[in-house]
Amino acid sequence: MNRGMHELVDADRGVVSRRIFIEPEIYQQELKQIFARCWLFLCHDSQIPLPGDFFTTYMGEDPVLVIRDNDGQVHAFLNVCRHRGNRLCRADSGNAASFTCAYHGWTYRNDGRLTGVPYLREAYHNELDRERWGLIPVALLGNYKGLWFATFDSEAPPLHEYLGEMAWYLDNFVDRREGRIEILGMHRWVIPCNWKFPAENFGGDAYHVPWSHLSAVTTSFSTGATAKRNATGTMVSPGNGHVVICIGPEMSGEPPADKLLDYDWATRPEVNTRLGPRSALVNPIVATVFPNFSLLRATSRTFRVWHPRGPDKTEVWSWVFMDKAAPPEIKKAIRLAGARGFGPSGTFEQDDMDNWQECTRTGRGVISRQMLLNTQMGLGHDRFDPALGAWASEYRYSESNHRHFYCRWSEMMSGAPWNEVVDHSASENDHV
């Protein structure tokens, strides 16, 4: 394995430099080497169901317009006018046959073609080749079970290879029941923290739950199962920097609301049949798809994108998701649990945000910035588990997922070509 930026991340020793959470030059490199190369989550199918539906988002700091054109084909373009670079579409979402720039009125059809240029004859003597000045598309666009992803890198592996073994773990969130999921939301807010703190937390930090969230745990606000110190579980790294926290298959991650617990147990036979035999081994409840798309199915059902907004700022876009086949009272209970636990006013989210913020802020000091951070928990105690298709730690209090996440981070940051870094399947040669 290419060890990447060794001076900043040493996965073998389990140390990470604090500089990667605060320095503007490193942040700029992240935008280039990670956000302009990796597959990034855009939106869910149900947000753009009809011809003409669109949704505006970001890939890194690049604004992106996702559109289903009049023929029903989905595209993703830079949301930037080709004339003087104005932001083309200012709405969050909607339905439109065309988009007209606010500055000089260039107009693009919902398939990206430039169709209208004011005063074309007078201003351009009819010499402007409109075919060459359509919206700029992403390099590759892909869909996995309703989730749209894109990359700006034409050399990137296809989405199914990029996800690899992670696909099965994603199924545990988005393909549990017939009809898959529907989504609600979103909540959007800014946290003054580096984007990697929430990404690593969702993908590998079970250690903080009984302590950071002590008040919620003590008041039984949380589910007993995931917060108990003696809870069983497995940390899983299915390759390519993706990371998952699993509880035992005999446990539920639902909040202590009878309705939701009953629903979980009642649907398990259907869910396990869909997911197959691996569901007898682990119950994945929280995950990060490298680099910045996280999903949670404990206490709340939410997925979110950690949009980077500078080294010390993250804009969170968060949705509640639920099985489409769930009855209305369950959907309501999931919605309420989602708002109670996560989102800007969620009990759990507030605990987390406070810590991520201070982990970032203290890095402003030139002396404290020189510290190394410790990701040594469980070092040497993980193993490759063929049944899980992943590196796994027996016990969920382990930072093996942090090490895999940061190892991939450093490989991408070193600019290594894809054929050197992609795991076609996580393998024993890939140990960190």
Q: Which residues are catalytic?
A: 104, 205, 208, 213, 352
Q: Which is nearer to ligand FES, 104 or 188 (CB)?
A: 104
- For the bound state, the minimum distance from the C-beta of residue 113 to ligand FES, rounded and expressed in Å, comes to 15
The CA-atom distances, in angstroms, between 396 and each of 102, 248, 385, 402 are 52, 10, 15, 12
Q: How far apart are CA 316 and CA 339, in angstroms?
A: 14
Q: Is the dihedral angle over the CA atoms 403, 408, 409, 414 positive or is it negative? A: positive
Q: How far apart are CA 389 and CA 403, in angstroms?
A: 17
Q: Which is nearer to ligand FES, 100 or 376 (CB)?
A: 100
Q: In this structure, are residues 387 and 276 in contact, taking their beta carbons and an 8 Å threshold?
A: no
Q: How far apart are CA 379 and CA 229, in angstroms?
A: 20
Rounded to 10°, the helix 196-204/347-361 angle is 130
The three-class DSSP label of residue 317 is strand
Q: DSSP string covering 401-424, please?
A: HHHHHHHHHHHHHTT--HHHH--S
Residues in 352-371 that interact with Fe ion by CB under 5 A: 352
Residue 145 binds which one of Fe ion, ligand FES, none, with CB within 5 to 8 A depending on kind?
Answer: none
Q: DSSP string covering 129-172, please?
A: -GGGGSPPBPSEEEEETTEEEEES-TTSPPHHHHHTTHHHHHHH
Going by the DSSP 8-state scheme, the letter that residue 122 receives in this structure is H
Q: How many residues bind Fe ion (CB under 5 A)?
A: 1
Residue 268 binds which one of Fe ion, ligand FES, none, with CB within 5 to 8 A depending on kind?
Answer: none
Q: How far apart are CA 389 and CA 369, in angstroms?
A: 37
Residue 104 binds which one of Fe ion, ligand FES, none, with CB within 5 to 8 A depending on kind?
Answer: ligand FES
- For the bound state, the minimum distance from the C-beta of residue 352 to ligand FES, rounded and expressed in Å, comes to 40
What are the tokens at 340?
């109670």
Q: Which is nearer to ligand FES, 135 or 246 (CB)?
A: 135
Residue 424 binds which one of Fe ion, ligand FES, none, with CB within 5 to 8 A depending on kind?
Answer: none
- For the bound state, the minimum distance from the C-beta of residue 115 to ligand FES, rounded and expressed in Å, comes to 13
Name the E strands within 145-252: 147-151, 181-191, 233-239, 242-247
Q: Which is nearer to Fe ion, 133 or 207 (CB)?
A: 207
Residue 352 binds which one of Fe ion, ligand FES, none, with CB within 5 to 8 A depending on kind?
Answer: Fe ion
Residue 81 binds which one of Fe ion, ligand FES, none, with CB within 5 to 8 A depending on kind?
Answer: ligand FES
Q: Which is nearer to ligand FES, 84 or 424 (CB)?
A: 84
Q: Which is nearer to ligand FES, 34 or 101 (CB)?
A: 101
Residue 101 binds which one of ligand FES, Fe ion, none, with CB within 5 to 8 A depending on kind?
Answer: ligand FES
Q: Which is nearer to Fe ion, 41 or 202 (CB)?
A: 202
Q: How far apart are CA 422 and CA 167, in angstroms?
A: 15
Q: How far apart are CA 153 and CA 58, in angstroms?
A: 15
- For the bound state, the minimum distance from the C-beta of residue 103 to ligand FES, rounded and expressed in Å, comes to 4
Give the binding site for ligand FES (CB under 6 A).
81, 83-84, 86, 101, 103-106
- For the bound state, the minimum distance from the C-beta of residue 80 to ligand FES, rounded and expressed in Å, comes to 9
Residues in 298-357 that interact with Fe ion by CB under 5 A: 352
- For the bound state, the minimum distance from the C-beta of residue 353 to Fe ion, rounded and expressed in Å, comes to 9
- For the bound state, the minimum distance from the C-beta of residue 209 to Fe ion, rounded and expressed in Å, comes to 6
Q: Which residue type, as a one-letter code, is found at position 274?
A: R
Q: Which residues bind Fe ion (CB under 5 A)?
A: 352
